[in-house]
Each structure stands twice: as structure tokens, then as C-alpha cells.
């Protein structure tokens, strides 16, 4: 029988072929200020408890993650029936769109915002309706409500505080969308521990409100991939239908349980990170020709004169920052997250060097052109 040469690409969905794979830079030799992580190590007692725990890795984990949900319930004051845990926020976003999106359906997002919303939409054959932020920073509630009139629109995702801008949207504007849109409103509160604002108490009032949380940011567990959804029990039960069995591994479940037992230690870290972020913000505002945007998170969006060159210069000096490219309305920007205090001090020294070099170069060019 003749061998048939098969081209796997010919079997791939067209939507997948159009996707550009998400690539995160792994440069352990650099000071990482690009991923909005908690730079502090876990509390010492938590590490000891976790590594001494008798975990049976030869057995499947609890598929319902009941002990972890009990710990989250205590933390959030939401019943365990209103909690669904996932393999990081990325999986949970995809589960939401598998449940409420799909072919012929659409999700409304507000660029600039977290890129995984759009990627998950493409993976689930969900169309994307974009309602850009006013001035690149503020929620356009009126236009989102108009977009929600589309019969295809099923879900609205609001990132609050917003990544990458750091903006905290007014509580009442989001609740207006919950009350008036007639759609599923997903509020991504990945950075809520830093902003200290949340809509969790409103869940009991609205079956269409779903809140997305993560252990990756304030709890310093980005390497373990652990997140959770909060909503009314009936809404969460619908999303649970598409959840893969055993989607959260045993080690991550145990780490999440223990982390919630060390809240006071984590709160100290959070307050330190907030103070460092504010210090970075104030110092960046004093750098000539740099626009710095206000933040309620652990990261800062800023715009130097030549963001590409500044990112390259920072990398030469050992600092990995996020080059956001051209954002709607705001243009090309860089984003940094607060590191350890000594890392932040070194970073600002590097910023001042680059700024001074830029000023000198501009002066030489200006003199030469006279």
C-alpha cells in the first residue's frame, strides 16, 4: 500500500492558525520586573509545612478540591458551592467562554487589557467585541451597554484593577453593567489584594456576576498556577460542567490551603509591595520626558520618549521589563512591577542613567544641527 504523506497543518482550525503563541521571556539571570509577580519568598513556616506534608503523589488529587474551597470560603465569605478552582486564571477564563461563549457568540472586552481574554475567545470560537477605554484609561460604560445589546454578546469581561494600565474602575460603573447589560459580567480581580477593593459582597445580589481571583500575584504562587472563580452556586455549577477532572494538582491545592493560613505574613508583604510601588511611581514622575500612569496595583505603566530603546537599555543593565508595544490611544509603553527594595533602587539608578544619556545625546544632536 502506498504511503500517504500527511500535512498536519491541513487539519488545524483556521482560527488556531491565525493565533500567535504567547511567549514569556525566561531570563533567570535578569532582575524580573516584567510579570507582576510577588518578589518575596513564601513565609518560612508555610514552606516548612508544605515540604513536610505527607502528600500522596501516586494518587489523583481531590477533583473537587474541597479542602481548598473550604479555605477559600473562609477567606472570601462565599459558600463552597459558589467556588470553582482552576489551573490558573487562564484555564478559568477558557472555562467561562466554553460555558457561555462559542460559535455565534461574542465576548465584550475593553482594550488595553489582559491579553488572555482574546486568546481564550479565539480558542473557543467566541467572537470578540472591543470597546476601547476612554483616553486609554477609563471604562466606557455607555458604549459597553450599547455593545451588550447585540444578541451575540454573552459575556463582558472587566479587568479591575486593569492590566496593563493599573486603573481602578469605579464600583458603581461595574454594578451598572451587572444590572443593565443582561449579560454575564466577569470581573477579574487578580490585583484586588493590592487595591483593597472588591465586588465579592455583591455576588449574593446578582446571578450574572462572576469574580475571578488568583494566587499568582499577592500570594506569590505564579509558578504553581492556581486561581478560583466566585459566583452564585447555580452559576458556578454551570461552569463546572466543562471543567476537566483533576484540573488542579495536589501540590497546588495544599499550597493554596496553607497560604490562606498565613494571611498576616502575606499582608506584610503586600503592604511593602504597595509602598515600593508608590516609591517607584513618585521617582518615575521626576524623570524628564516620561509619562507615568497612576496605579492601584503592584505594577506601573509608563511611557518614555523611546520605549523600545529604553527596554533594550534596561535589559543591557540586567532588568527585564514588559514592552507593551502600541496600546490603544496611549501609544507605546513599558510596564514594570515592583521588585525587592534593593532591586527597585538599582532599577531607578538605571532609569536615571538612561535618562541622562538620552538628554546628553539630544543635546549633542541639537548642537550639531545648529
Q: Tell me what the mean pLDDT of segment 251-269 comes to.
A: 98
Quick check: pTM over 0.85? Answer: yes
- 161 touches 191 (CB < 8 A): yes
Domain boundaries, the chain: 8-38+264-364, 44-262
SS3 annotation, 125-189: CCEEEECCCECCCECCHHHHHHHHCCCCEEEEEEECCCCCCCCCCCHHHHHHHHHHCCCEEEEEC
Number of residues that this document lists for the chain:
370
Q: At residue 347, does pLDDT exceed 50?
A: yes
What is the pLDDT confidence band of residue 10, given thresholds at 50, 70 and 90?
A: confident
Which pLDDT belongs to residue 367?
A: 47
Q: pLDDT by residue (tens digit) across 204-216? A: 999 999 999 999 9
What is the pLDDT confidence band of residue 363, given thresholds at 50, 70 and 90?
A: low
For 44-262, which CATH class?
alpha beta
Q: pLDDT by residue (tens digit) across 269-305? A: 999 999 999 999 999 999 999 999 999 999 999 999 9
Which pLDDT belongs to residue 8?
A: 86
- 66 touches 248 (CB < 8 A): no
Which pLDDT belongs to residue 12?
A: 86
Residue 336: which residues within 8 A CB-CB, separation 6 or more? 33, 34, 280, 299, 300, 302, 321, 322, 347
Helix boundaries (H) for the chain: 14-17, 44-52, 66-76, 88-100, 116-123, 141-148, 171-180, 192-195, 233-240, 250-259, 263-285, 307-316, 341-369
Q: pLDDT by residue (tens digit) across 146-160? A: 999 999 999 999 999
Q: At residue 366, does pLDDT exceed 90?
A: no
Is 8-38+264-364 in CATH node 3.40.50.11900?
no
For the chain, what is the mean pLDDT? Answer: 94
Same fold, 8-38+264-364 and 44-262: no
Amino acid at each position: 500500500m502506498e504511503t500517504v504523506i500527511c500535512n498536519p497543518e491541513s487539519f488545524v482550525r483556521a482560527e488556531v492558525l491565525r493565533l500567535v503563541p504567547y511567549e514569556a521571556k525566561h531570563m533567570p539571570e535578569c532582575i524580573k520586573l516584567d510579570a507582576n509577580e510577588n518578589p518575596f519568598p513564601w513565609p518560612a513556616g508555610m514552606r516548612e509545612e508544605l515540604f513536610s506534608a505527607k502528600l500522596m503523589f501516586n494518587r489523583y488529587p481531590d477533583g473537587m478540591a474541597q479542602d481548598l474551597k473550604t479555605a477559600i470560603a473562609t477567606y472570601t465569605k462565599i459558600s463552597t458551592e459558589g467556588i470553582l478552582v482552576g489551573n490558573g486564571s487562564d484555564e478559568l477564563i477558557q472555562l467561562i467562554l466554553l460555558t457561555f461563549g462559542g460559535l455565534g457568540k461574542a465576548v465584550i472586552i475593553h482594550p488595553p487589557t489582559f491579553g488572555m481574554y482574546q486568546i481564550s475567545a479565539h480558542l473557543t470560537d467566541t467572537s470578540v467585541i472591543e470597546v476601547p477605554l476612554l483616553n486609554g484609561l477609563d471604562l466606557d460604560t455607555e458604549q459597553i451597554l450599547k455593545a451588550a445589546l447585540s444578541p451575540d454578546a454573552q459575556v463582558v469581561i472587566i479587568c479591575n484593577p486593569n492590566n496593563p494600565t493599573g486603573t481602578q474602575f469605579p464600583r458603581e460603573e461595574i454594578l451598572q453593567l451587572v444590572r443593565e447589560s443582561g449579560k454575564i459580567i466577569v470581573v477579574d480581580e487578580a490585583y484586588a489584594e493590592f487595591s483593597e477593593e472588591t465586588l465579592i459582597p455583591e455576588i449574593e445580589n446578582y446571578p450574572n456576576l462572576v469574580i475571578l481571583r488568583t494566587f499568582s500575584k499577592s500570594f506569590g504562587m505564579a509558578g504553581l498556577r492556581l486561581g478560583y472563580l466566585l459566583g452564585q452556586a447555580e452559576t458556578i455549577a454551570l461552569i463546572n460542567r466543562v471543567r476537566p477532572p483533576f484540573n488542579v494538582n495536589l501540590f497546588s491545592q495544599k499550597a493554596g490551603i496553607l497560604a490562606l493560613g498565613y494571611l498576616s505574613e502575606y499582608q506584610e508583604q503586600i503592604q511593602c509591595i504597595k509602598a515600593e510601588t508608590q516609591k517607584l511611581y513618585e521617582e518615575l514622575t521626576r524623570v524628564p520626558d516620561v509619562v507615568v500612569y497612576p496605579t492601584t496595583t503592584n505594577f506601573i505603566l509608563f511611557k518614555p520618549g523611546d520605549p523600545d530603546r529604553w527596554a533594550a537599555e534596561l535589559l543591557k543593565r540586567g532588568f527585564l521589563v514588559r514592552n507593551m508595544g502600541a496600546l490603544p490611544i496611549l501609544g507605546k509603553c513599558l510596564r514594570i512591577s515592583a521588585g525587592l527594595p534593593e532591586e527597585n533602587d538599582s532599577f531607578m539608578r538605571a532609569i536615571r542613567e538612561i535618562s541622562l544619556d538620552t538628554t546628553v545625546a539630544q543635546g549633542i544632536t541639537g548642537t550639531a544641527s545648529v
